[in-house]
Amino acid sequence: MNAAPDGSIIQRESPRADLLAFEIKDRITEPDIAWMSSIADAAMKTVDRFDMLLIMSNYEGTDLGARFDGYASQVMVRSVAHIRKYVVVGAPSFARAMIKLSGTVMPVDTKTFDLADEATAWAYLAEAGPVAKS
C-alpha cells in the first residue's frame, strides 16, 4: 500500500490494473490530494478508461488548499473522459447527493455504498469486470 505524504489517503491494493482504489482515513490536505491526483494522472496515461473506488473510512473534511489545488482540479476535469465507474463507500450524506447528481450530468457511472457495505462495493466492481479496451 502506498500512502500520501500526510497519510490521510492510502492507495489500496486492486485486483486489476484498471481499478484505482483509495482509502481516505483523515482530513485531506493539499499534498495528499496532489499525490492522489498524480496516481490518477499516471493511470490516464497508461489505460484509456478505468474504474475508481474511494473508501471514506474516517473522512474528516478537506483543507481549503486541497479543494482549490490547480493540478488536482485539472486531473479531475480530465478524468471525466477516462473514468467508467466511480464508486464511493462511506460518503457523508452531502457527498452522496453530489455524487448522485454528477452521475446524471457526466458520462461516468456513479454509485455509493454505506461504509458497512465495502465488500458489496468491491463485488459490484468485480462483477463489472475489466474496462473493455477501446
Contact 87, 103 (CB under 8 A): no
* Range of weakest confidence among 14-18, 44-48, 62-66: 62-66
Give the predicted TM-score (pTM) of the model.
Answer: 0.89
Chain segment 22-39, per-residue pLDDT in tens: 999 999 999 999 999 999
1 pLDDT band, cuts 50/70/90, is: low
Q: Percentage of the chain with pLDDT > 90?
A: 54
Domains within the chain, CATH numbers bracketed: 2-127 (3.30.750.24)
